[in-house]
Amino acid sequence: MAERAWPIQLIFKSAERELRVTFEGGEERRIPFELLRVESPSAEVQGHGPGQKKWLTGKDAVEVTAADPVGRYAVRLTFSDGHDSGIFSWDYLYELGEDPEARLAEHHDAAANAIGRSR
What's the pTM?
A: 0.92
CA triplet 24, 27, 28: central angle to 5 degrees?
115
Q: How far is CA 34 from the centre of its chain?
A: 7
How many CB atoms are located within 10 Å of the residue 97 CB?
20
pLDDT at 119 over 60: no
Q: b/e string for 58-90 if b means 16 or more Cβ within 10 A?
A: ebeebebeeeeeeeeebbebbbeeebeebbbeb
Interval 6-39: pLDDT, tens: 899 999 999 999 999 999 989 999 999 999 999 9
pLDDT of residue 70: 96
When pLDDT is averaged across residues 85-90 and rounded to a whole number, the result is: 95
Q: pLDDT-based confidence at 3, cuts 50/70/90?
A: low
Tell me the C-alpha distance between 98 and 46, whole Å.
19
Q: Write down the pLDDT at residue 1.
A: 42
